[in-house]
Amino acid sequence: MPDLNASELADLVDPEAIAHIIFNENRSLTGPQLEAANVAMGHVVLNLIAHGEPVGNGTVTARIGLPDDISDQERDVVLEQAREAARRVTDERSRGIDPTGGALEYNHRAVDPAAQPDDAYESRWGDRQTTGTPAKLSFGPLSNSHPTSELPKGHPVYLTVYGD
């Protein structure tokens, strides 16, 4: 199947669907680069759809959740941030803008704040360097209100976008 044109696809995909993916992935994150991270993730979502790849199938979604004590109002604020990012993605894409350069991967990584700069670089960019998929963009540090074993409490989180 030939790839679809992601700019044309932006007019066909419901921004609410993109917003819910962004919300699911980044809902427990906060920080000054979160808006840019949300937009980059939205672009990756459109790129995946355009290439006929699965999005949000359970194997590529983050193990991030909402804290148990989050209020409905706080949840609505985070969802509205995701909606705004999705609107920006569809607007940019309709004008042919993709800051990710067609990237098809993203992930969240914890970085040890005590690591030396070279070690931090390795843990931040991880094994993608050795598999040939270079990091294109990285956003963070972001705070995570729902720690997991992969993204432990007290460690900053970076959202990294990968692609050729």
Would you call 85 helix, strand, or coil by DSSP? helix
pLDDT digits (tens, 9 = 90+) for 3-58: 567 667 777 888 998 998 999 888 888 899 999 999 999 999 999 988 888 776 54
Among 121, 118, 119, CA closest to 138: 121
Domain that holds residue 84: 6-162
Q: Which residue has the higher pLDDT, 60 or 132?
A: 132
User: Does 164 have pLDDT greater than 80?
Assistant: no
Chain mean position to CA 103: 11
The pTM assigned to this predicted structure is: 0.80
Q: What is the pLDDT of residue 132?
A: 55
Q: Report how far residue 33's alpha carbon sits from residue 55's, in angstroms, rounded to the nearest whole number.
A: 23
Q: Tell me the residue ranges of DSSP E strands in 41-85.
A: none
Asked if residue 97 is part of any domain, the answer here is: yes
Asked if residue 1 is part of any domain, the answer here is: no
Asked if residue 152 is part of any domain, the answer here is: yes
Would you call 51 helix, strand, or coil by DSSP? coil
pLDDT digits (tens, 9 = 90+) for 104-152: 988 888 764 344 444 444 444 454 444 456 778 889 889 888 777 777 7
Q: Tokens 């993605």 sit at which residue?
A: 89
Which H or E run includes 137?
Answer: strand 135-144
Q: What interhelical angle do 15-26 and 34-50 show, nearest 10?
A: 120
Among 24, 22, 48, 56, CA closest to 37: 22
- Tokens matching residue 56: 């949000």
Would you call 139 helix, strand, or coil by DSSP? strand
Q: What is the pLDDT of residue 37?
A: 96
Domain count, the chain: 1
Among 37-51, 76-90, 149-163, which is the least confidently predicted range? 149-163
